[in-house]
Structure formats: C-alpha cells, structure tokens
Structure 1
Amino acid sequence: MPTYELALMLRTMARPELVSTLKRTTDSIFSRGGFLRKLDFLGDKTLPYRIHKNSQKHFTGSAFVVTFDVPPKCISDLMEEYSRDVDVLKRQIFKIEEPSNAECLLGDELQPPAYRKEVIQMMKVAAKGQKEKYPQNTGLKYYPFQK
C-alpha cells in the first residue's frame, strides 16, 4: 500500500468536539483497510480567505496533517466522505513518493564542474546535438570571409 498525506483544515471548535471529528476522519481510513503512520497538529490558523460552509462563515481553523497507508482505490471514497463532513473545511490528499537513495560523495561535489562525471556526460550529450557552424565545402572549420 502506498503512503499518503492528508492535509485537513477543521473548523474551530472545543477540544472534545475536535477529538471526535479527528476520530471520525481516522476511522474512515481504518474502515477501508488502511492504517495511520502519524498525526500532526499544526495549530489554529487564520484562513487566507473566508470559507462558507453550511451557511456559516469561517475565518479560522485547526490544521492537521495525517500520514497514512491505504489502497489507492479508496482515495476517491475518502475525498468524497470528507467533502460531505460538516466539520472539515478544506482537505487534500497527496501521495508521498519514496525518497531515492542517491549516493553523494563530498569529494565528487568539491571538484570543479568541468571534472564532475555528471557534467562531462551532459557535455557529451550536448555535443551530439550540435552541427558544424559553416557547412560549406571549403574544408575549413571557420568562415574565411568574416570581417
């Protein structure tokens, strides 16, 4: 199962209500065969613009980031369920890509660019695409009539 990150903006409410809303949102992940990795509270934030939801105007909200694993086919169901929830102001799910295990050696990075392997490869690729500047059949590699 791939790992996803859910960015939630919940309406401002008392702590017991906030806990029940979080429990409801995470139970929907559990009911679809997923599991939680991490739950972060980012604090109460002022919204960049007012949000109208259920005939109420919201200017502030509580921000959360939930990291979880779930089958990919369940993402659209989760988004639909969160859009119908009256306590969720904004929601977005992002897929977390696995970090590449690129090996970085300090000695290679401290070399001047002309001596690095990657730069030499880029120069070879760039040289393949170039053609001669003066394709005349003069046998010269320069333009003899230049002022």
Structure 2
Amino acid sequence: MITYELLMLLRSVPKPELKTILKRTANAIFDKGGFIRKLENLGTREMPYKTSAHGVVYDRASYFLYEFNVPPSSIDKLFDEYGRDIDIIRRRIYKKKEAETFECTLHDELQPPPYRKNVQDLIAEARKLDKPKFKYNTGLDYYPFQK
C-alpha cells in the first residue's frame, strides 16, 4: 500500500475532547482497511489567516499530522468523511515522497569549484551550446557572411 500524510487543523478544544476527535479520525482510517504509521502533534497555534469552516470563523487551531497506509481507492472516501466532520477545520491528504538517496563525500566538497565533477559536467554542457566562430586566416581576406 502507498504511504500518505494527512495534515489536519482541528478546533481548539480541551484535551479530553481532542482525544475523542483523534480516535474518531484514526478509526476512520482503520475502517477503510488502513493502518497508522505515525501520529505527530504539531501544537496549537494561531493560524496564518482566518478560516471559515462549517459556518464558524477560526483563527486558532491544533495541528496534527498522520502518516498512514490505506488502499488508494479509499482516499476520496476519507477526504469526504473528514470534510463533513465539524471538528476538522482543514484537511489535506498527500502522497508521501520517498527520500532520495544521494552520495556526498567530504573530499569532493572541499575541492575548489573548477575541480569538482558536477561543475566540470556543467562546463562541458555549456561548451556544446557554443556557436562556431569565424576563423580569420582561412584563405579568405573578408568575412563572407557580412553584408
């Protein structure tokens, strides 16, 4: 299954109510055949701008991030279910990108730029784009392309 991230902005409520909201949202994932890998509390703070949801204007929210696996066919159902929940101000579901692996050595980084492999590749690529220049001592005593 594909790993997804769910970012939710919840109403600012006391901890016991917050606990029931989180259980309800987690059970929705379990009901769709998924499982949760990680739940992260990003804290309660002011929102960057006022947001209206379910007829109420909010300027403060609790931010939570779920990392979960679920079949792709049930993502729309989850998004719709969370959209009808009056405790959720905003919700976004993203497909989690796998971290790209790269190799970096200290020796390459400490070299001056002209000696680095990636800089040499860029210079070689730029030289391919150079236009051919007129060579003056080729037997012609004038530039043939000038009017």
After TM superposition, where is structure 1 displaced by more than 3 Å over at least 4 residues in a row?
136-140
Describe the shift of the 1:120–1:7 C-alpha distance in structure 2 as closer, same or farther (beyond 3 A): same
Identity of aligned residues (%): 43
Q: How many residues align?
A: 141
**What is the distance in 2 between the residues matched to 1:131 and 1:98?**
41
Structure 2 letter corresponding to 1:63: Y
Q: Name the residue aligned to 1:129.
A: 129
Q: Name the residue aligned to 2:86.
A: 86
Shift of 1:127: 1.3
3-state DSSP class of the match of 1:66? strand
Structure 1 letter corresponding to 2:27: D
Shift of 1:52: 2.4
Q: Name the residue aligned to 1:118.
A: 118
Deviation string 1:46-96 (CA, Å, 9 cap, x unpaired) is 122222223323221111111112222322222111111111001111222
Q: Name the residue aligned to 1:36.
A: 36
Structure 2 letter corresponding to 1:23: K
Structure 1 letter corresponding to 2:85: D
| TM-score, structure 1 normalization | 0.84
Q: Name the residue aligned to 1:26.
A: 26
3-state DSSP class of the match of 1:86? coil
**What is the distance in 2 between the residues matched to 1:30 and 1:87?**
19
**What is the distance in 1 between the residues matched to 2:58 and 2:67?**
25
Shift of 1:14: 2.2
**What is the distance in 1 between the residues matched to 2:138 and 2:86?**
79
Structure 2 letter corresponding to 1:3: T
Task: Could you tell me which runs of 5 or more consecutive residues in structure 1 were left unpaired when the two chains were aligned.
Answer: none
Q: CA RMSD in A?
A: 2.3
**What is the distance in 1 between the residues matched to 2:28 and 2:22?**
10
Q: Name the residue aligned to 1:49.
A: 49
Q: Name the residue aligned to 1:58.
A: 58
